A and B are shown apart, each in its own frame.
Chain A
Amino acid sequence: MRLQGKVSIITGAGSGLGKEIALLFAREGSKVAIAEIQEEGGQATVQQIEREGGSALFLRTDITRASDVERMVEKTLQAYGRIDVLVNNAGINPSRTPVHETSEEAWDQTLSVNLKGAFLCSKYVLPVMMKQKGGSIIHIASIVGAMGCSDRAAYAASKGGLIGLGRSMAVDYASYGIRVNTLNPGFIETELTRVYFDKLREQDPKKMERIIDHHPLGRLGRPEDVAYAALFLASDESPWITGLDMGVDGGFLHCKRI
């Protein structure tokens, strides 16, 4: 029970990576606040956690709205009394396009959810952790934030920004015992991305092969790959780790076959 007695808020935990992280954290003893904009997915995660004997709370939250985020923190404290872990996981990628083909609308939306959302959630959770004199914040960024990947301009800007924000938060809050780290997942197959990958498999199988090839370990990622890395960073097993951004990416970032 590697998170025994801890309280975690996970954004976007209604599906995909967020859901897997929530399930794993609950199995490891954490009470989990599911902050999710989609009611159905959010409630489903809560129910699964409760079925497995854990404790969870659904909080309908649009992380781009400060009032929603303030309420998310209030309700979590009301229910559980503390916040030990924040996982800024909610993210979108509406436009797989290079800069000149990216609409201003898609840009604003991407930056708003992926970067400003993480800022707002951190802003309201930090004072709680400062009072408690400790905590672990994990941003879910992307390989796309760490390295240039084609056709992902807005996403890259938002995720690169998140990596920079993580380091900045690490230096500012370390003296409160608050650790801040970032995970850079590679291409992960989830219910959400499956649509994209299935389409590729059908319409452009060579590209799909290329994508897999970019990961030297020879497969796409699974949600649990990221969830276990998040567990490590959330737990007391990483007490001297802060300011990192860590690839969970099958070797994508650091290996090139010549």
Chain B
Amino acid sequence: MRLKDKVSIITGAGSGLGREMALLFAREGSSVVVAELKEESGKRVAEEIQKEGGSALFVKTDVSRSADVERMVVEALSAFARIDVLVNNAGVNPSRTPLAETSEEHWDLTLAVNLKGVFLCSKVVLPVMMKQKGGSILHIASAAGLIGCSSRAAYSASKGGVVGLTRSMAVDYASHGIRVNSICPGFIETDLTHSYFDDIRRDPKRWQHIIGLHALDRIGIPSDVAQTALFLASDESSWITGLNLAVDGGFTSVKRI
């Protein structure tokens, strides 16, 4: 029970990586606040956790709206009295395009959810953690925040921003015992990305190319990220802060010549 008695808020926990983390954290003893924009999926994850004997609360949250975020924290404290872990996972990628082909609308949406959403959630949770004199904040960034990936202008900007924000927050809040790290996932197969990958799989050459970008010869699955998140959320990593940790099968770290 590596998160025994801890309270975690996970944004975007209605599906994909967020859901996987919520389930795992609950199994490891954490009470979980499922902060999710989509009511149906958010409620379903909270129920899944409760069916397994865990403790969960669904709070409908649009991370890009400060009123929603403030309410998310109020309800979390009301139900669980403390916040030990915040996982800023909610993210979008509406436009797989290079810069000149990216609409202003898609730019604003991507930055609002992926970067400003991280800022807003952290902003409201930090004072709680400061009062408690401790906590672990985990941003889910992306490999695209570490290196240049084609056709992902807005996404790269938002995730690169998260990488920079991670380090900035780490230095500012370390003296309060608050650790801030990020995970930079590579290509992960989830319910959301499934159709994107199915498309690619129809072209075996293109699929081979995607696989080949990963030294470990496969794309990721949600538990690859969730288990890393567990490590960074728990007290086992109590001297680790400021990291942007790639969970990407070697995508960013190595090149086959």
Please say whether chains A and B are actual partners in one complex: yes
Q: Which residues does A use to contact B, with CB under 8 Å?
A: 167, 170-171, 174-175, 177, 179, 186, 216-219, 221-222, 225, 228-229, 231-232, 237-244, 246-251, 253-257
Distance (whole angstroms) from the CB of A32 to the closest CB of chain B: 19
Question: Given the complex, which residues of B lie within 8 Å of A216, measured CB to CB?
Answer: 170-171, 174-175, 241-242
A-B pairs, 7 with minimum CB distance: A243-B253, A216-B174, A254-B242, A255-B171, A174-B215, A171-B254, A225-B239
Q: Are B239 and A250 in contact (CB under 8 A)?
A: yes
Query: How far is it, in angstroms, between the C-alpha of A246 and the C-alpha of B215 when the chains are bound?
Result: 18
Given contacts A241-B247, A249-B239, contact A254 B170 (CB under 8 A): yes
Question: Given the complex, which residues of A lie within 8 Å of B237, measured CB to CB?
Answer: 228-229
Q: Are A237 and B231 in contact (CB under 8 A)?
A: yes
Q: Are B249 and A242 in contact (CB under 8 A)?
A: yes
Distance (whole angstroms) from the CB of B183 to the closest CB of chain A: 10
Choose one: A174, A225, A228, A231; the contact of B216 (CB below 8 Å). Answer: A174
Distance (whole angstroms) from the CB of A1 to the closest CB of chain B: 13
Question: Given the complex, which residues of B lie within 8 Å of A251, measured CB to CB?
Answer: 170-171, 174, 241-242
Query: How far is it, in angstroms, between the C-alpha of A165 and the C-alpha of B241 when the chains are bound?
Result: 25
Given contacts A175-B217, A228-B237, A254-B242, contact A217 B174 (CB under 8 A): yes
Choose one: A179, A244, A256; the contact of B171 (CB below 8 Å). Answer: A256
Question: Given the complex, which residues of A lie within 8 Å of B243, measured CB to CB?
Answer: 246-247, 254
Question: Given the complex, which residues of B lie within 8 Å of A228, measured CB to CB?
Answer: 231, 236-237
Query: How far is it, in angstroms, between the C-alpha of A221 and the C-alpha of B177 when the chains are bound?
Result: 14
Distance (whole angstroms) from the CB of A63 to the closest CB of chain B: 25
State whether the Cβ of B228 lies closer than 8 Å to any Cβ in chain A.
yes
Question: Given the complex, which residues of B lie within 8 Å of A246, measured CB to CB?
Answer: 240, 243, 245
Q: Are A170 and B250 in contact (CB under 8 A)?
A: yes
State whether the Cβ of B208 lies closer than 8 Å to any Cβ in chain A.
no
- B179, B220, B241, B249 — which one has the most chain A CB atoms within 10 A of its CB? B241
Q: Given contacts A171-B255, A217-B177, list 6 more A-B pairs with CB under 8 A.
A: A229-B240, A232-B228, A240-B218, A241-B228, A242-B253, A254-B167
State whether the Cβ of B132 lies closer than 8 Å to any Cβ in chain A.
no
Residue in chain A with minimal CB distance to B236: A228
CB-CB contacts of B206-217 with A at 8 A, as 1s and 0s?
000000000111
The number of chain B residues with a CB under 8 A from chain A is 39
Query: How far is it, in angstroms, between the C-alpha of A228 and the C-alpha of B177 when the chains are bound?
Result: 19
Q: Are B256 and A171 in contact (CB under 8 A)?
A: yes
Q: Which residues in window 174-233 of B have CB below 8 A to A?
A: 174-175, 177, 179, 186, 215-218, 220-221, 224, 227-228, 230-231
Question: Given the complex, which residues of B lie within 8 Å of A170, measured CB to CB?
Answer: 215, 250, 253-254
Distance (whole angstroms) from the CB of B240 to the closest CB of chain A: 6
Q: Are B167 and A171 in contact (CB under 8 A)?
A: no
Distance (whole angstroms) from the CB of B6 to the closest CB of chain A: 16
Question: Given the complex, which residues of A lie within 8 Å of B250, measured CB to CB?
Answer: 170-171, 174, 242-243
Question: Given the complex, which residues of A lie within 8 Å of B255, measured CB to CB?
Answer: 171
Residue in chain B with minimal CB distance to A242: B250
Query: How far is it, in angstroms, between the C-alpha of A225 and the C-alpha of B171 when the chains are bound?
Result: 19
Residue in chain A with minimal CB distance to B235: A228
Q: Are A238 and B227 in contact (CB under 8 A)?
A: yes
Question: Given the complex, which residues of A lie within 8 Å of B170, measured CB to CB?
Answer: 216, 251, 254-255
Q: Are B241 and A248 in contact (CB under 8 A)?
A: no
CB-CB contacts of B3-20 with A at 8 A, as 1s and 0s?
000000000000000000
Question: Given the complex, which residues of A lie within 8 Å of B254, measured CB to CB?
Answer: 167, 170-171, 174, 242-243
